[in-house]
Structure 1
Amino acid sequence: MDNSGLLFQLASKGLLVGLLAGVIVWSSKDRNKFRKLVWVTVFLTFDVIMFGAFTRLTDSGLGCPDWPGCYGHSNPLAAMEHIRAAEALMPDGPVTVMKAWIEMIHRYLAMGIGVLIIAILVLSWRFWLRSGKTAPQFSPWFPLALFFFVCLQGAFGAWTVTMKLQPVIVTIHLLLGMVLLAMLTWVGARQNEHLPVAASARRLRWPAAIALLLLTIQILLGGWVSTNYAALACMDFPLCHGALVPEMDFDNGFTLWRSLGMTADGEYLPYPALTAIHWTHRVFAIVVAGHVGWVAWKAWRTEGLQKTGLALLGALALQIAIGISTISLKWPLALAVAHNGCAALLVLLTVMLNYKAGIAGRSGDPLQARQNDSPIRPHRTTNA
């Protein structure tokens, strides 16, 4: 198949995913279809992050070893001859029928998110112009940034395959997915109305921002654990190999530019390097849990932030429990995927907390003032 035909068929599949999401939006009873579209896109992005974790953890990242298609075709059915041949040569290798389908479904869903972000951009421009450029919740500049960002994420998705799962590329791909979720959540927060927030919440602005920064670093470390397959480098808890500080090789473990499972010199990655990767993620989790937990507790005790603070406390407790269980139960797949999903949930809730703390102390109801100029007259909601 020539490149133009391949790209057309792949684009049609991404458009189909987007249209299915669009049916959910337009069939809903919510009169504010734009707000509904944004939050459906947030939900789909959350799902793709979890499915991306499933793709990575089932070793399906090279299920189709080329990009954007699968052996030059738009779906594994058309590429079945090549897939069967590769599977026959290496039955336990990276290319199997199941892994090819997992990888391509992940790509279709990701393309669907791109379609929805384009729709958000077009509609935001339309509503912004209709409002006389006076409705800040429809300002198109943030959706425009989203569009360029999802293109960047797509580029890293391509490099993930073409560079054969280079750990630093895969880790950045994971982080960019989380950042995309955070950006979409911020856009969604701009569409919601929120309960009045006490002026005292202003004191949480910097702590909440630091919580988001620490969470970002921890996600990077977690991605580095996952992409280097270091999840079981420490099989015991709370110790690691029976020691608080086991034997570790930080130089090789945190050399960024190297092939999967190899050192920068082309040797096999030593086990102490994997231990260093895992141990660092585990120790920094204590710092993150302490600060995020404190911020969530303060939010829980602040008027207008109680629901978000309580949800953040619950998600943090769940994440800690899942993290310990993955070690105790020797990293079952469902728990590993849930660990990634709970990290995404923590990102979403921390972004919401940052947004709400950011609007604390403003006079009146800022979103009610916007709605007076809104071209779609949304209903009052109090979604988290």
Structure 2
Amino acid sequence: MAASTLFQLALMGLFVASIPLTMVWLSADANKYRKLVWVMAFLTFDLIVFGAFTRLTDSGLGCPDWPGCYGAANPFIAHEQIAAAEAAMPTGPVTQVKAWIEMIHRYLAMGIGVLIMALMFQAIRQWRKTHQKAFAPAMPIALFVFVCIQGAFGAWTVTLKLQPVIVTIHLLLGMLLLAMLVWLGEHENRLLTPLAPSRAPASLRGLRTLALLAAVVLVVQIALGGWVSTNYATLACDEFPLCDGQLVPQMDFEHGFTLWRELGMTAAGDYLQFPALVAIHWVHRNFAILVTLVLGWAAWRAWQEPALRRTGRLLALALLAQLFTGVATVFFDFPLAIAVLHNAGAAVLVVLVTMLNYKVKTLLEVSQRRPANADALANSYR
């Protein structure tokens, strides 16, 4: 790819990043570092949702090379090549609309990469000057490394022609990047407004274990959901709660869950048969029962703790909405808007489960220190 094209793409990334950076700089919030973290978390959420839209509209190969589009910085310049590909295969992966969808997704990703670099440089600079906890550079540096890995998987998504395992990992890394930003944002929040100790610290230990379990099962379910989406198995079961009229339909787990293979193919190079798609869909659908039980229990337990009540309530509502969109996707034959909402719901659950884990961890630490402080105060009056 020409150096001029790379330069134009870099300028586009800077332009996209300059808009939220300017908004943060001009905001009335005195803590602009914290503001930037939460703006980045919001944009990463948006990128995940737009990535789902890109995948669900079959636009992942709208530009079949990387990082540009037919070697150009935008589809305007590559209009001739795109038009030729579209004329040769009108319903194929390359069209003018799909090219723009794919490139907008890339521009947003580049902008977030620039924002993470800005956050890292600011954290390092402020840490050297002040050594304040708010600017500890470990997490911003980890975010930078992580976004570079995510960028590599974004490139492989295209160069390996939407290989399901690569696309699924790309989705998981996006969710984990969102979780890291939310964790950092919660850290900044707690430095500004610390949590008051709980009156029942013993119950928090069980809730912390439950919150960690909720995070684990949610990651597994998102991986399964990504596997459904990347293998185009969403409508392999077109009714609910049965699948093809049966509780346990005919399934091919061996080929359905072979990880390293091309899209629509088995590892041996044969076409993937329908029972394999049924197995993929059926596992995701039934694992959702376990996810509902674990996250529902975690939400109920959090609801009992005053400092966590709002998070627990939001988690319960998000879980119900996610169940509704999941079932509606099947009932309404996979409408695009509901499918995108279902992917957005998964990102919302990631945000809330991350918040719950951070708050429980912090609340437990604060509450465990309370008895020692109280005993010391009581002894001083004896």
Which category describes the TM-score, using the shorter chain as reference length? over 0.9
Partner of 2:266: 263
CA offsets per residue over residues 291-340 of structure 1, 9 Å max, x none?
A: 01100110011120001111101100000001011111111000111111
Does residue 315 (structure 1) correspond to residue 315 (structure 2)? The answer is: no
5+ residue gaps, structure 1, are 367-384
- Asked whether the 8 Å contact 2:196–2:366 carries over to 1, the reply is no
Matching of residues 235-314 of structure 1 within 5 Å: 235-314=238-317
CA–CA separation in structure 1 for the residues paired with 2:124 and 2:197? 30
CA–CA separation in structure 2 for the residues paired with 1:361 and 1:69? 48
- Asked whether the 8 Å contact 1:202–1:360 carries over to 2, the reply is no
Does residue 196 (structure 1) correspond to residue 191 (structure 2)? The answer is: no
Moved more, 336-345 or 197-206: 197-206
Shift in Å, 1:3: 2.7
Seen in structure 2, the aligned counterparts of structure 1 residues 148 and 113 have a Cα distance that, compared at 3 Å, is same
Matching of residues 183-222 of structure 1 within 5 Å: 183-192=180-189, 193-198=193-198, 199=201, 200-222=203-225
Does residue 327 (structure 1) correspond to residue 327 (structure 2)? The answer is: no
Q: Larger helix proportion, structure 1 or 2?
A: 2
CA–CA separation in structure 1 for the residues paired with 2:113 and 2:208? 31
Does residue 166 (structure 1) correspond to residue 163 (structure 2)? The answer is: yes
CA–CA separation in structure 1 for the residues paired with 2:188 and 2:291? 29
Bigger RCO (CA 8 Å, 6+ sep): 1
SS at match of 1:305: helix
Shift in Å, 1:194: 4.9
SS at match of 1:320: helix
> Identity, % of aligned pairs?
61
CA–CA separation in structure 1 for the residues paired with 2:301 and 2:209? 13
Structure with greater Cα Rg: 2
Q: What letter is aligned with 1:187?
A: L
What is the RMSD computed on CA atoms of the aligned residues? 1.4
- Asked whether the 8 Å contact 2:299–2:316 carries over to 1, the reply is yes
CA–CA separation in structure 1 for the residues paired with 2:107 and 2:230? 22
CA–CA separation in structure 1 for the residues paired with 2:282 and 2:366? 47
Partner of 1:340: 343
CA–CA separation in structure 2 for the residues paired with 1:19 and 1:205? 39
Partner of 2:17: 18
- Asked whether the 8 Å contact 1:197–1:305 carries over to 2, the reply is no
Matching of residues 1-384 of structure 1 within 5 Å: 2-131=1-130, 133=131, 135-192=132-189, 193-198=193-198, 199=201, 200-363=203-366
CA–CA separation in structure 1 for the residues paired with 2:169 and 2:296? 26
Shift in Å, 1:202: 3.5
Shift in Å, 1:201: 2.6
CA–CA separation in structure 1 for the residues paired with 2:28 and 2:241? 49
Structure 1 runs of 4+ with >4 Å offset: none
Seen in structure 2, the aligned counterparts of structure 1 residues 124 and 267 have a Cα distance that, compared at 3 Å, is same
- Asked whether the 8 Å contact 2:195–2:366 carries over to 1, the reply is no
How many residues align? The count is 363
Q: TM-score, normalised by structure 2?
A: 0.93
Q: What letter is aligned with 2:363?
A: A
CA–CA separation in structure 2 for the residues paired with 1:57 and 1:70? 20
SS at match of 1:304: helix
- Asked whether the 8 Å contact 1:61–1:103 carries over to 2, the reply is yes
CA–CA separation in structure 2 for the residues paired with 1:127 and 1:357? 28
SS at match of 1:340: helix
CA–CA separation in structure 2 for the residues paired with 1:208 and 1:272? 35
Shift in Å, 1:143: 0.8
CA offsets per residue over residues 51-74 of structure 1, 9 Å max, x none?
A: 000000000000000001000000
Shift in Å, 1:23: 1.6
Shift in Å, 1:362: 3.6
Shift in Å, 1:159: 0.3
SS at match of 2:321: helix
Shift in Å, 1:242: 1.1
Q: TM-score, normalised by structure 1?
A: 0.92
Moved more, 20-29 or 296-305: 20-29
CA–CA separation in structure 2 for the residues paired with 1:336 and 1:197? 41
